[in-house]
Amino acid sequence: MRCLMCEKEMGKGGLRDILFGDDPLCIDCRRMWKNRPVKFYLDDVELNASYVYNEAFSGCLIQYKELADEALKDVFLFEKLKWFRRKYRGYALVMMPSTQQKIQARGFSHLKEMFACTKMEIIEPFEKTADTVQKGKSRRQRLEMMSEIRLKEGIVLPEKIVLCDDTVTTGSTLRGALHALKGYSGKIQIYTVSANRRWYRPHSLHFTDRKAIIL
Ligand SMILES: [Zn+2]
């Protein structure tokens, strides 16, 4: 078996298997990911993230998403599966939306594939009306983006949902989803596989008065 990122041959059997099972990444590539679970609140909704969004993580995500390397789909939750299934037992997983253009360009729904390994219920109730790049946007423009996510017509949501995304950068996309859920009375949680470094610095969380807890 070869590592899906660096293509190095990984030994089968022995200590590696005992320690890491069938991790599709080699030990060196895995080590470059910063496994640092963090919990904070986004508009009073609990958000848990597992990794720091660093170069190694973003490199893998880009290869998966933008270069459509579908084989990487299971590497993101590999170390977190057990925890995830326990934490969100009874919840339906709500995928954050991509635009139709993006889904077509990739040929697959990248988040749905990423979370399929949980074997939990996955729903895609949102649609995105426009594709907007967050970088370089003012706070006002980002707030306007909120209206670009809406619930598809006729959607009935389950009682407990967890919004799932690959990363949280400014939080504006997730806020857009929360905004679209205004009339929903069920229980909401958020999980993102990774989080931008800013979320690891409690003093910078100017959106909320609660502190981030690094677990
Ligand atoms: Zn590797």
Read off the pTM. Answer: 0.86
Name the residue range of residue 85's domain: 33-214
Asked if residue 18 is part of any domain, the answer here is: no
Express each pLDDT in 141-199 by its tens digit. 666 655 689 999 999 999 999 999 999 999 999 999 999 999 999 999 999 999 999 99
Asked if residue 43 is part of any domain, the answer here is: yes
What is the whole-number distance in angstroms between the Cα of residue 21 and the centre of ligand 1?
15
Cα–Cα nearest to 198, from 209, 210, 212: 212
Asked if residue 138 is part of any domain, the answer here is: yes
How confident is the model at residue 208, as a pLDDT? 47
What is the whole-number distance in angstroms between the Cα of residue 3 and the centre of ligand 1?
5
How confident is the model at residue 32, as a pLDDT? 95
What is the whole-number distance in angstroms between the Cα of residue 1 and the centre of ligand 1?
11
What is the whole-number distance in angstroms between the Cα of residue 196 and the centre of ligand 1?
23
Asked if residue 16 is part of any domain, the answer here is: no
Query: Angle CA(27)–CA(28)–CA(31) in degrees, nearest 5?
Result: 85
Express each pLDDT in 35-77 by its tens digit. 999 999 999 999 999 999 999 999 999 999 988 899 999 999 9
Express each pLDDT in 102-112 by its tens digit. 777 888 889 99
For residue 189, the cross-strand partners are 162
Q: How far apart are the first and last CA of the chain?
A: 33
Q: How far apart are CA 124 and CA 112, in angstroms?
A: 8
Asked if residue 12 is part of any domain, the answer here is: no
Asked if residue 9 is part of any domain, the answer here is: no
Cα–Cα nearest to 168, from 43, 75, 63, 83: 43
For the cut 70, the answer to whether the pLDDT of residue 214 exceeds it is no
What is the whole-number distance in angstroms between the Cα of residue 188 and the centre of ligand 1?
36
Cα–Cα nearest to 94, from 152, 36, 44: 152
The domain spanning residue 108 has which CATH number? 3.40.50
Tell me the pLDDT of the chain averaged across its residues: 86
What is the whole-number distance in angstroms between the Cα of residue 4 and the centre of ligand 1?
7
